[in-house]
Structure 1
Amino acid sequence: MIFVRSSSMRTFGEALIENPQESLNCLGLALVQAVKILAWFPADAANVERPWNDIPPDLLTERLATIRLPRTVVRLYDLERFTELRDLRAHAVGRLVQVRGTVIRISSIRQQLAAIKVTCAGCGKAQEVNCPNFQFRPPMSCMASAECKSRVFVPDRETATTLDWQRVRLQELSSTGGIADIGGIPRTVDCELVHADMLDTVIPGDIIDVVGIVKFLNLDTDASRSRRGRDHALYQIYLQVISLVASRDGKGGESSEIDSPSGAAALDAHAAAQPISPEAPRLSQVLGERPKIPTPTAMSSLSKPQRSLTEADQECIREILQYREHLFEYLVHSLCPMICGHDIIKTALLLGILGGSNRKSARPLVVSELAEEATQQAADLDALAARCPIDASELTSSAETLATRSDTHVLVVGDPGVGKSQMLRAAAALLPRSVYVCGNTTTTSGLTVTVSREAGSGEYVLEAGALVLADRGICCIDEFDKMSADYQALLEAMEQQSISVAKAGIIGTLAARASILAAANPVGGHYDKRRTVCENLKMSPALLSRFDLVFVVQDQPDLRRDQRISEHVMATFGGRRQRAAPMRWSVSTESSDGSESRDVKRVRRFRSQCRPDGTSAQNA
């Protein structure tokens, strides 16, 4: 290609990474020219090598200019590697990168200025001014006339060209599968969506893959209007999104296995092709019926990847099936094997991780109740018809649908030192979408939704909390008894699996379909058998009723059990694993170099295949 030859890049792939804007423009131009040429030649001309060589170039250019095509957008997916958000620094500005993260904030859709005409105050002539990065800067001199020395320009607002614009904030994923790296703050980056079919296609809590161009923006909001802003030397990096793929599969599949069209470049059209000249044939006459372009609403369903079993998944399943006779016991003991015993609690946590099936039952409440009452009091059909003038079939079709949640909430109450926190951390590490929080450092807004002002515009935006980020996943809350003031915020989220918001003029409902796994210590440090669970925790009965499984763990003196725990601890941390009390299906959590062992990775991969779809669970 001429572009590659004229540049210093050896291949077009290198040019696409180093100079993405110009490369994408070349791809878009090539796509437009290819479609126009196909529109002018019959279908059998595709088998002829370069059929346009027989047409004079001037005539070919004139004919191609008569075809009006819809707006085309080049989309790129599945680059060779992902770039960590913490690696987006000054050296990455201007490059094409692919990142992965969790959506934590979404702004409202606003309109940004793309181009506008200005009128010179001296000569009265108009000229068009483009607005790169949506920032309007008046021209320094009049370009319409060389003799005009005026520097005063009046913008014509009626000629302004605007584009819909939305900002999404991403937070980096943890390499351990949900628990933030110790000692580090999760990095975030803002992504700008400027294409209509991308707007409102993601929600807080979605894990998305973004391909975009790294750019920087002056942090001073008045950069285009003041000299101080132009001289401001502090800039912020953001991503101009080229394409995104959303994965709302919280309890199924590791986030690293999101499938997308490999190396695909999509041609997007937003209007029907309309030839200017009546002599020009329509595209549908040459290419057949034009494919339907997905609407922005349909794009969210198309962006959901279709998962398939990879070779690593198949190998994992074959290894796990070695324990076919005791498969469930193996999975239970693989959850936090450093904690000896507590198999019932581990079983409950495992079931909470896997989830259940959504069940919806239609019960014609009005018909059944009225029919039962009428049957008892009426002796014949005439009396029944007189009491029930409404057609029963209509009531049955509009019957109330009762939905049963599929997520299991588990509460573990026990004395300090029995391993509650370790089991919660192990459960959080098994899911790609999991949030681990501590009750004594968590607020109501941190659990649900935070309303904050957006820099620059001053508008209120919603920032997702722990329960929203854990949608279709699990939320592990440790020290549950230390957040007594925030209990009321969990009532709706645990039963209705949604969070209603009415703050700062924003009224809406966010999904919080997450399993809550909580651990709490009793009041005074030890569980008192003479009191109820509510009295030991100072918890309201309404909140306690939201938990499906409640376990009470007491540290009672038991010589045989204490000896077994001592041997297990010494074998785990003292390098004498072979002398530990035998556990038939135990697995290791760390390898010799301190990294995650193959056993835990294998169990996590197998668990992800137990429920490949986050919306409809399969009966196992």
Structure 2
Amino acid sequence: MSKSFVAERESSMTKCINLQKIKIQEMSTLDNADEEGRIPRVIDIELSSDLVDSVVPGEVVTVSGILKAGDPTDKPGPSSLYIDAVSVQKIKSMDATLGVPVKAIDVPEQRLQEIMSVANSKTTLQTLVRSFCPHIYGNELVKMGLLLGLFGGSRRSSQIDAAALSVRSDPHILVVGDPGLGKSQLLTFASLVAPRAVYVCANTSTAVGLTAAVQDGSLEAGALVLADQGCCCIDEFDKIIGDSWRSLLDVMEQQTVNVAKAGIVCTLPARTSILAAANPVGGHYSKEKSVVENLKMDSALLSRFDLIFVLLDKPNADMDKVLSEHVLGSVKSEKGQLRSATVLLTQVTQAPTTLRELLDPKHPIGTIDESLLRHYISYARQKITPRMTEEAAIILQEFYLDMRKKHIPDETLPITTRHLESMIRLSEARAKMELRNFVSAQDAHEVIELVTFCTADTVQTVSTTKIRKGSKTGGMKKFVSELIKISSRTGETEFTTQQLQALFDVLKITELPFGELLDALNENGYLLKKSTGYRLLVT
């Protein structure tokens, strides 16, 4: 008698059933302090019969089944544990109006009373902004913009030929600025208070890591799919590996991930708000260049962001004094022990007057804790669906038409209908912050001031270097042109100060001194100063 079992597949007594193998990962929660710092656990699941194809990557589910020991992947090696699923329940409820799944939440009765108390207050906006990352001082407009990204707009769809086309309702926010201004701290806090969030670093993420990957015949969800109906915080956005940014174009606008790999063709939902932070090329943001030139990124990608904030580290005696007082007052706990604190230097100019006065950090406004803020955002995302009023629509339309009329090409990102859609989303998110079901004229005015603030920062300013083209630019072009020739001949892209001085003397440039020439080339991104003392030629 043979000890091996050989299945007779063509026998009339042989019964075949559908079988599918998936992996699930546990969700982290803020309520359990014991889970901090631990990698979420992953376990294999075996689905059979009617459970096959009942879930797609990125969905939140509860699986009930029998824990077994074996190797469901049919790979050689030691046996592992897996679950033979009996039932799979999606932790989502269908929205009857749009037919899209919405993550269900459970807000305790006590929390609900606290939420209503905050919403009914006359200082709701100030309280929410002050409670967002309170250990970082200043930049209330940036915090408000990130909060708008967390609240999101009203999800809706347009009917074309009896087919529902989803319209993006999640704003994308980008924070650009000099290193050391607390951008990563802002994103980290946003991921903590968001009902559902994924935090990644772009310099260690690939295109498939952000979208979806096919491995061993199975489909694995990336960060944007896992953050569906939540937010995806991407730090070091300017350091996206290779052409990975191209995979974000469709995701950021259509909010879907289209996969056609290894015989698998499918579309995964990625209805997420992207909150990103980036550093300018060379480590310092130059106001003489546009945000596209500072980041060296494609304008098609940057145009998908609803708000782009620029943070500059500029010395200011009054602000430095306030910041130092804030640091000295915050680094000590009640017991007098020191703790870490991050300070965000803030601009004190060019801020909208109305919002600036409304969100002035010097005003005594109370704050709420992270848990309540998280429940507040979660409640607003699920329960509140603001609709645009005619008065607010007219205000946004007039501002959009005025922007189109005054737009100057080549100075900043082009003004298109995408900007009007962005202002609609932001206005709806502003109404959600006060748990209102309509967008008021005040919401529209505040969003316009916020957009104006961001637009003014992303536009390049005309410098003395560009004004005096006849006197200075000629010498700069001559110097850079000769450096490019030397670099192509020798293969070197880094030069010492002595080498540059020698070239300066040979070319006999008299338009401007040697020191000013190096500074101008560094600010314009042609010859970057490195910490090693060398100068890097960028072509």
Per-residue deviation, residues 448-497 of structure 1 (Å, max 9, x unmatched): 111110xxxxxx11111111111111111000111152211111111111
- Which residue in the other structure is 2:498 paired with? none
Per-residue deviation, residues 249-272 of structure 1 (Å, max 9, x unmatched): 79x9xxxxxxxxxxxxxxxxxxxx
Aligned partner of 2:182 among 405, 409, 419: 419
Q: Please state how far the C-alpha of 1:611 moved relative to its aligned partner.
A: 1.8
- Which residue in the other structure is 2:59 paired with? 206
1:466 aligns with 2:223: yes
Aligned equivalents of 2:219 and 2:313: distance in 1? Answer: 43
Q: Given the superposition, is the C-alpha separation of residues 446 and 181 from structure 1 closer, same or farther in structure 2, using an over 3 Å criterion? A: farther
Aligned equivalents of 2:168 and 2:240: distance in 1? Answer: 25
Please identify the structure whose Cα radius of gyration is greater: 1
Q: Given the superposition, is the C-alpha separation of residues 424 and 242 from structure 1 closer, same or farther in structure 2, using an over 3 Å criterion? A: same
Aligned partner of 1:559 among 296, 307, 317: 317
Contact residue 102 and residue 382 of structure 2 kept, 8 A: no
Secondary structure in structure 2 of the residue aligned to 1:238? strand
Per-residue deviation, residues 241-300 of structure 1 (Å, max 9, x unmatched): 2223212479x9xxxxxxxxxxxxxxxxxxxxxxxxxxxxxxxxxxxxxxxxxxxxx9xx
Per-residue deviation, residues 488-540 of structure 1 (Å, max 9, x unmatched): 11111111111222222222222211111110001111100111101100011
Secondary structure in structure 2 of the residue aligned to 1:445? helix
Aligned partner of 1:241 among 80, 85, 89: 85
Equivalent residue pairs, number: 364
- Which residue in the other structure is 1:342 paired with? 139
Aligned equivalents of 1:525 and 1:302: distance in 2? Answer: 43
- Which residue in the other structure is 2:380 paired with? 610
Aligned partner of 2:68 among 192, 209, 215: 215
Kindly provide the amino acid, as one letter, of the partner of residue 126 in structure 2: E
- Identity %, equivalent residues: 42
TM-score, reference length from structure 2: 0.60
- Which residue in the other structure is 2:114 paired with? 316
Aligned equivalents of 1:577 and 1:433: distance in 2? Answer: 34
Q: What are the residue-to-residue correspondences of 1:116-155 with 2, within 5 Å? A: 138=5
Q: Given the superposition, is the C-alpha separation of residues 316 and 235 from structure 1 closer, same or farther in structure 2, using an over 3 Å criterion? A: farther
Please give the root-mean-square deviation of Cα atoms over the aligned residues, in Å: 3.8
Q: Given the superposition, is the C-alpha separation of residues 615 and 577 from structure 1 closer, same or farther in structure 2, using an over 3 Å criterion? A: farther
Secondary structure in structure 2 of the residue aligned to 1:413? strand
- Which residue in the other structure is 1:176 paired with? 30
Q: Given the superposition, is the C-alpha separation of residues 426 and 177 from structure 1 closer, same or farther in structure 2, using an over 3 Å criterion? A: farther
- Which residue in the other structure is 1:191 paired with? 45
- Which residue in the other structure is 1:539 paired with? 297
- Which residue in the other structure is 2:20 paired with? 166
Aligned equivalents of 2:298 and 2:137: distance in 1? Answer: 32
Kindly provide the amino acid, as one letter, of the partner of residue 189 in structure 1: I
Secondary structure in structure 2 of the residue aligned to 1:159? coil
Contact residue 179 and residue 435 of structure 1 kept, 8 A: no
Aligned partner of 1:331 among 106, 111, 128: 128
Aligned equivalents of 1:357 and 1:463: distance in 2? Answer: 29
Contact residue 245 and residue 304 of structure 1 kept, 8 A: no
Q: Please state how far the C-alpha of 1:216 moved relative to its aligned partner.
A: 1.1
Q: Given the superposition, is the C-alpha separation of residues 515 and 448 from structure 1 closer, same or farther in structure 2, using an over 3 Å criterion? A: same
Contact residue 257 and residue 269 of structure 2 kept, 8 A: yes
Q: Please state how far the C-alpha of 1:164 moved relative to its aligned partner.
A: 1.8
Structure 2 unaligned blocks of 5 or more: 342-360, 387-427, 439-539
Contact residue 177 and residue 432 of structure 1 kept, 8 A: no
Aligned equivalents of 2:297 and 2:377: distance in 1? Answer: 33
Aligned partner of 2:208 among 427, 435, 445: 445
Aligned equivalents of 1:446 and 1:305: distance in 2? Answer: 23
Q: Please state how far the C-alpha of 1:444 moved relative to its aligned partner.
A: 0.9
Q: Given the superposition, is the C-alpha separation of residues 212 and 315 from structure 1 closer, same or farther in structure 2, using an over 3 Å criterion? A: farther
Q: Please state how far the C-alpha of 1:209 moved relative to its aligned partner.
A: 1.7
Q: What are the residue-to-residue correspondences of 1:41-80 with 2, within 5 Å? A: none
Aligned partner of 1:575 among 323, 333, 346: 333
- Which residue in the other structure is 1:436 paired with? 199
Q: What are the residue-to-residue correspondences of 1:468-483 with 2, within 5 Å? A: 468-483=225-240
Per-residue deviation, residues 361-393 of structure 1 (Å, max 9, x unmatched): 458xxxxxxxxxxxxxxxxxxxxxxxxxxxxxx
- Which residue in the other structure is 1:410 paired with? 173
- Which residue in the other structure is 1:17 paired with? none
Q: Please state how far the C-alpha of 1:167 moved relative to its aligned partner.
A: 1.9
Kindly provide the amino acid, as one letter, of the partner of residue 149 in structure 2: G
Per-residue deviation, residues 426-458 of structure 1 (Å, max 9, x unmatched): 1111123211001111111101111110xxxxx
- Which residue in the other structure is 2:412 paired with? none
Q: Given the superposition, is the C-alpha separation of residues 606 and 137 from structure 1 closer, same or farther in structure 2, using an over 3 Å criterion? A: farther
Aligned partner of 2:286 among 528, 531, 541: 528
Aligned equivalents of 1:427 and 1:312: distance in 2? Answer: 24
